[in-house]
Amino acid sequence: LKAITAQSAAIRRRGEFLEPSAWISGGLSLRPREVPRRAFARMASAQSADIARSAASDAKVTPTTWEKFVAGKKVCPFCACVSFFLVGLFFTFLLIWYIDKEGDAVFSFEDADVKSDLIVQQAYAFEAARGEPTGCADDAHSESKEACEADEKCRWDESQLSGGGRRGGEEPSKCKTKDICPGPDPRPRESPLIYDGGPMWVGTIYEAQEDGNILDDDILEHIRKFEQTLLTDVNGAKLKTGESSAWNEDWCRLTYPNGKPRDSPGRCAAPDSVLNLFMTTPEAIAETKAQAQDGFTPSPVLACMCTDEDSLCSVCTSDGGVKAQAEWPVDVQTCMATKMATPTTAAPATTTTSSNSSALCESRTAFSVEAFLKDFCATTPTCQWGPPKTSKVCFATSFYHPIHATGVATGSDKEAAFAKMCNPDEVGWWQVRRSQLPLSFDCGARKTAFARTSFFAGGTGEKDEGKNFETQYIQGISGWYQKEKQLEADIESASGGKLRVILFSAATLRAQFLNILLVDALLSIVSLVSVWLYMWWSLESAFLASVAMFEIIFSIPVAMSLWSVILQQEILFTQLLCIYLILGIGADDAFILNDAWMQSRLVIGDNQLERFSWAYRRAFRAMMVTTATTCGSFVIGAASPLPQVQAFCIFAAVVVLVDWLFCVSLFASALMIHENYIRSSKDPGTCLGPGCCCGCLKVFSQAFCKKCVGDLPKAGEPQVRGMEKFCQGPLYGCLKRFRLPLIAVWTILIVAMIISAGVNLRTAEKRSPIGKQSLDVIRGFEILLEEFSLFSTPTTSFVFGLDPEEPVEFGATTSDNEARYSASEAAKVTTPEGQLELLSLCRAADQGKGTNDIRCEDRSCLVLGRVQAGLCAANREVYRSSGVYITDDVLCATGRYCFMEEVARYWAFHIAGGECKGRSTAAQCGTVTTCSYATASQPCCAWDTDFDLCYPTVTENDYPGLPANEFVSLLGSDAFTAYLNFRKDTMYAYVREFDAIFDQELTGFRLSPDKQSLSMAWITFNATYPAQNTVEQANDWYDRWEAFRMTYAAGVGGFQTTELYKFMVTQNEMVKAAVLGVCLSLLITYIILLATTANWWTSTLGLVNIIGIACVFLGLIPIVGWSLGENECIFLIAVVGLSVDYSVHLLHSYTHATEDDRDGRSHHALAEMGISVLSSAATTLLAAAILFGCGFYFFIQFGGFVFMVIGLSIIMSITFLMPLLLTVGPQERQGDLSFLCKRRAKQ
């Protein structure tokens, strides 16, 4: 030992660093294997302390005033720590106050749009120009009950109070349009039960597993058994009181017989089940006929026509006419006569109708068999009994298959059902199939993987029935929900894994999502607790670990306060996840400062204030460099055109900065409090001594694996920790020995990852999933979004009259935006040619599927609607009496909303054919001869014998296009406004209120204030594009719709817009923004490295390592199954900021090492910073790994991103950057740029 000490002193005097290999040298007879392990460790510790003290003997540390204050030596020991804590607490309470004041407006969970793009500007311009639709539902009417009821057309609906109302104690209210033709009060359970402001629905998704077919006989049988139990006793579900409660007895929605007294008992209404499509067995048909005989059919009179045969209806002719009544089958005549002679009890209406609407109501309720049959037979229909809703009249409204059927159709009966549901002429079958089977259903192969069923609970209208339904029946161990989950598991097991059942309902959906959120929240807490435990183990103090966690966690609310209160910005969902970024960065800063404090004893000695000053300055510089590079690489995200990327990156930079400020203030002052008042005075390895778990961990380690920890120093003695020994010993030796192979391996891997990214990396084929596929509610929603049109139908609008280059002037909020109009663009529409082009664009949808694939119900077409060519048949009576067009069949969809067609209809009926109005007899009707369109073969007017009314023979198809001034005058006239209002009332009267609402929102025009010119106009088509699209798909949809516009209305200008295009623009910008962000981040990082290290050589090597990390991560993206979607592009921009810390720490230590040669400097960097970067990486990896257990996919993916980047960063910083420094790192003053600042680097 004396010889080694003397030798080390001699080496130290020569300015050399004594490496482990030199400990046994100089002619000594000792060999490594001859030195006891504990003695070797003591020699290393003693020598490190000796060398460090000698190296610092010439440097006098003079504490500054700030350092004295932070250390508690200036005012009082606790003043600094308490002050910094109160600052964090102040900003936290400021945020809480601001959230309480502003409410939900502080947060935004929607992606911001790229407002610099013209397509996005057009969308906002359209919204601003269109404004809010006027009516009972607008803000002015919904403001209060008094404001609503002041309008005679509106009523205040408080029915949402049933079911407990809205959360938060607010009284739910809504202003609605009064019923034009009010009906009688609903009978018990005839209306849906109201739960939480809406109908109590239940939906079930069925998914075939292992590429199976949901329509196979065996799977359909399992579905039948499931629904048979679900819709009856629900596996013995009980009320909270313990009484059994069967769904079909106590809760199903009821339907009542037609043509019977009002007090007749009801029966459970037929559920909308996929099984209904296959309820064509003889048993099911017989039951349907029996139910219809009891009046449970839409029209008992017309049901007399229904038969068992799949042939033309017996009262119709083959050419679409109606047979003379004498030619009808005798049984049909007898049945109709009997049904029509049966008296019924009418029910009083709930409210009275106005005189203006009474005629409409009388027209709607008046029923003419002859008129109905004329329109009905025109479609050459069959009158075969069928499943619920597959025809207009030949089905039973109370066919409840769990009770009334014992099986589904098979063989030829099943094939016949397939033929009907795949025939667009069978409108009822077609619509039921579209509702219960997905868009991907293959009629040719008779195959699909999905199906769905839905039904409603019936309500009585009693107050709080929804709340009672939830608490008394749904909840509880024996309640409906738990019994249903057990039933799901039983059926899935019985199917042998072929079937997956996914059920959600209005009463359970919230609980299902909250369960996932609860699990994710608990995992987040576990993640934080795990990091705290690791920090306790590493810092050997629960107090310091707690202060460090406070520093990390409270950097989020402080940053939020600065972001929202000071900068007045909304807090986005992605910003909340910065907690997982700052965990590693904050822990890194805490470890750096603590490690510097631990090492200061070896360098300075026992002078506490000088030790603190030395440690504080060393850690401050190291943390400042990493904070500058991390913040710089994040701040560059402000250059991104994507608002969500800008917000995330700037907020992340603020969080990093706040965390650093907390670390150099709060944690630094806490370090001195711990040293003076909390640190245990007992020896390490004793109970209640220093270390994790009150020293117990070291006690157990010594007891069970003493050689793992070696001899522990006495209290107050300098200590070289195990990880420090590992870094400056075995790790350094291994890296030095294998530096060239490591560089070669990483170089090959980086090249391979670049190739992988170039070959396999693609933009996202679909949006990221919502969450884990194993979670029913997540998987069910994804299926509904992708396969079923459950949510609102997507639309594409064409807008005319706005400025084509600068269509909008953005305001502070969306409501402040102002559209910019263009008189020249609007004038294109007002010309006769423009009017006809606009009509041509609207009517192009009537080509149907055809050769151009314009309108159908799959994605081969643009417009969603009727497959057959031509306009849907109009309600003849309404059309011929008023010129108002509404479809005779409510299920027939024209696929568009076009005000120009209403102009043409108004012109035909009220202008060109206006002389026909008011002619009350056929003779008077025939006397009109003054119309401009009359010819020998086309009289001015014609008489409709079915409805006894006179109507013009000119139609909307004859519209010639009006001169511009006449066209604008017509649009602004009171007569046309009255026509539009009457049309709206007609749609309400005929129970088409949704059409009336959509028509007001989706088409229209705006005139100048003086009504002398057109400002803008718009029309809208229902679209077939899915709810989720890839970038390529969105671009393709845009091109197809643009080609459609240019084909039929190129001369009127304008543009197309839809919500899909906002997504398209965002996705198109994502990749460009990611590439730009990565490049700029690397540039900024390099500049900051040059500025902080003043050495281009080490900065370049650091840049090479960071580029390598980014390349490997980029290559891993396709390997792990990711593609370039929204999340991945954000990750790419953040990858530089997240991966720079460890490289910068090692480079900073390497540059400022006292040694001249690269070996000594590399050893110094590992000895000084190795423990800090490894501990920091461990905390982040631990926190990120726990996120893998989350339910929502973004948490899982974010955890994977952090885990991969941090893992790559620490591994490559140690095994790639350090070998690079050992091989080609600068020596002495190589690469030094300090001469540029006219100063010399200190040796």
DSSP symbols for 634-697 = HHGGGG-S-HHHHHHHHHHHHHHHHHHHHIIIIIHHHHHHIIIIIS--SPTTSTTSSSTTTTHH
Asked if 365 contacts 180 with a C-beta cutoff of 8 angstroms, the reply is no
CA 789 to chain centre: 17
The span from the CA of 548 to the CA of 536, in Å, is 10
Is the separation of the CB atoms in 44 and 729 below 8 Å?
yes
The C-alpha atoms of residue 611 and residue 604 are separated, in whole angstroms, by 6
> Strand 863-864 vs strand 855-856: parallel, antiparallel, or unpaired?
parallel
Label residue 905 left, alpha or beta by phi (over 0 means left) and psi (-120 to 50 means alpha). alpha
**Cα separations (Å) of 460 from 195, 251, 479, 787?**
12, 10, 21, 34
Q: What value, to the nearest 5°, has the Cα angle with vertex 393 and ends 388 and 395?
A: 30
Torsion angle, CA of 738/740/742/747, rounded to 10 degrees? 180
Tokens of 861: 């077409």
Contacts 24+ apart (CB under 8 A), 74-81: 77/672, 77/673, 77/676, 77/677, 78/673, 80/665, 80/669, 81/666, 81/669, 81/670, 81/673
Element counts in the chain: helices (H) and strands (E): 47, 24
- Residue whose C-alpha is closest to residue 765's, from 429, 1121, 1221, 1116: 1121
Compute CA distances 337 → 303, 342, 371, 709, whole Å.
Answer: 12, 9, 17, 102
- Predicted TM-score of the model (pTM): 0.76
- In this structure, are residues 968 and 826 in contact, taking their beta carbons and an 8 Å threshold? no
Q: How far is CA 1182 from CA 639, 1059, 1120, 1186, in A?
A: 32, 40, 20, 7
The first and second tokens of residue 1046, run together, are 């240019």
Is 20 within 8 Å of 1 (Cβ atoms)? no
Q: Can you tell me the distance from the alpha carbon of 848 to that of 872, in angstroms, rounded to the nearest whole number?
A: 11
Which amino acid would we find at residue 904? Answer: A
Distances (CA, A) of 1055 to 157, 825, 838: 39, 11, 13
Residue 953 · residue 925 · CB < 8 Å? no
Q: What angle do CA 1031, 1037, 1043 make, to 5 degrees?
A: 135
pLDDT value at residue 158: 66
Q: Smallest Cα–Cα separation from 1210: which of 1180, 1165, 1168, 1167? A: 1180
Gap between the Cα atoms of 898 and 966, Å rounded? 19
CB 1193 within 8 A of CB 770: yes
Beta strands in 113-247 (DSSP E): 154-157, 174-177, 191-192, 194-195, 198-199, 201-208
- How many CB atoms are located within 10 Å of the residue 918 CB? 9
Distance CA 797, CA 1230 (A): 65
Q: Is 892:866 a contact under the CB 8 Å cutoff?
A: yes
Write the DSSP string, 1011-1033.
Answer: SSSEEEEEEEEEB---SS--HHH
Which helix or strand (DSSP H or E) is residue 970 part of? helix 964-972
Q: What is the pLDDT of residue 535?
A: 84
CA 504, 508, 514, 520 dihedral sign is negative
Cα atoms in the Cβ-side hemisphere of radius 13 Å centred on 572: 17
Q: What is the pLDDT of residue 31?
A: 34
> For the chain (length 1243 residues), average pLDDT per consecutive 10?
44 39 34 36 42 45 86 82 89 88 74 80 91 76 81 73 36 67 83 86 92 94 94 90 91 92 91 94 93 91 90 89 89 86 53 54 68 84 91 92 92 93 88 88 91 92 84 87 92 93 86 80 83 83 88 88 85 79 82 84 81 89 83 79 80 90 90 84 55 54 52 53 76 89 93 88 70 83 78 86 92 85 94 95 91 86 90 89 88 91 94 88 86 78 89 92 94 93 87 84 92 94 83 87 94 91 78 78 84 84 91 88 76 80 84 85 86 83 84 83 90 92 87 64 45
Tokens encoding 411: 């063989």
Which residues lie closer than 8 Å to 634 by C-beta, 6 or more apart? 649, 650, 652, 653, 656, 1081, 1134, 1137
β partners of residue 720? none
d(CA 244, CA 374): 51
pLDDT at 11: 43
Q: How far apart are CA 857 and CA 1024, in angstroms?
A: 7
Rounded Cα gap, residues 658 and 665, in angstroms: 11
CA 769/CA 773 separation, integer angstroms: 8
Distance CA 586, CA 592 (A): 10
User: Which pLDDT score, from 0 to 100, does residue 687 have?
Assistant: 58
